[in-house]
Amino acid sequence: MNPRVKSVSPLPGYKLLLEFTSGERGQYDCTPVLEFGVFKELKDAQYFRRASVMDGTVVWPHEQDICPDTLYLDSVKV
């Protein structure tokens, strides 16, 4: 099992700075998902900044979430 998200900080350009339970940090670019279904709402920068961590992944108030494995595997480690 891949590490889960411990903390998230939204960044400009629809990116997320993530800290994982392994202690690693990564940057995940959300722009590729902004044109799909429920993720279109994330285009609102103010709403995007409402990202938080729940159950080891990143979520937004209207129930959008991104698979924690995707966040770990596709993030650029920093």
Does 15 score more than 90 pLDDT?
yes
Distance from C-alpha of 66 to C-alpha of 44, rounded to nearest angstrom? 17
User: What would the mean pLDDT of 46-61 be, rounded to a whole number?
Assistant: 98
Reply yes or no on whether the pLDDT at 1 is more than 90: no
Indicate the pTM of the whole model.
Answer: 0.95
Model confidence band, residue 9 (pLDDT cutoffs 50, 70, 90):
very high
Query: What is the domain range of residue 12?
Result: 5-77
Average pLDDT in the chain = 97
* CATH at residue 56: 3.30.2020.10
- In 3D space, the residue among 24, 14, 13 whose CA is nearest the CA of residue 73 turns out to be 24
Strands laid side by side in the 65-66 sheet: 52-54, 57-59, 65-66
Domain count for the chain, please give it: 1
pLDDT at 19: 98
